[in-house]
Amino acid sequence: EMIMGIFSKLFGKKKEKIKKTKEEKKFTWFTLHINARLQPMHRGAIYEDPLDKFLHAVGAGEVSGGGTLMRDNEGGGPQSCDVELSIRKGLEDRFISTIKDAPIPKGSELIFVEEEDKSIPLGNLEGLALYLNGTDLPKEVYERNSVDKVIEDLIALMGDSHEFFSFWSGPKETGLYFYGKSFDDMNAAIKGYVSTAPLCEKSRIEQLC
């Protein structure tokens, strides 16, 4: 699978049930704003589904919705995304403590929906985008080379501390989005490959966070 449910690795360790009381049947609403360029299906696979599974497993609440903000320039593509959460009253502190340790890109935040201007900054991952030129290379380069193979090679070069999160195919470029502990480490790991791989000619790299 190109996209891994990284939240399931973290949350899967916490299986104990929480006894529900009448007071805990009321909810506090949060928006988890994620500073990651994720298509909706990848937002679901990486964050929404594992989070919802965890919250249901421990009786702490549920994921109640989500959305992706798309850029209106530079060929479009995802900019960031939100996950809407309802957490049972009395369990907010435990949830906040858990989410602070979760693998989330820097620049993210947990927003208290019912308390204006109240939020908690989150994030421990850095992002790298590789934009492949989709129009200016010789025709035979596109015919003989595969974007999937480029992704596979980059994943192998970056190692286990980094993940391929998502992609976007625009009118002139294809963006590949990676997140991990260090942008500098990711960039250094793929520099030689990007400079020689035919499909990476005329590509560009951008630090996301």
pTM of the full predicted structure? 0.88
pLDDT one-digit tens code per residue, 105-123: 999 999 999 998 899 999 9
Q: Which two tokens stand for residue 79?
A: 């900019």
Q: Which two tokens stand for residue 170?
A: 């625009």
For residues 150 and 132, what is the distance between their CA atoms, to the nearest angstrom? 10
pLDDT one-digit tens code per residue, 16-40: 555 545 544 589 999 999 999 999 9
Mean pLDDT, the chain, integer: 89
Give the dihedral sign, CA 55/57/60/62.
positive
Mean pLDDT across the stretch 94-109? 94
pLDDT at 3: 40
How does residue 72 score in pLDDT terms, banded at 50, 70 and 90?
confident
pLDDT one-digit tens code per residue, 154-204: 999 999 889 999 999 999 999 999 999 999 999 999 999 999 999 999 999
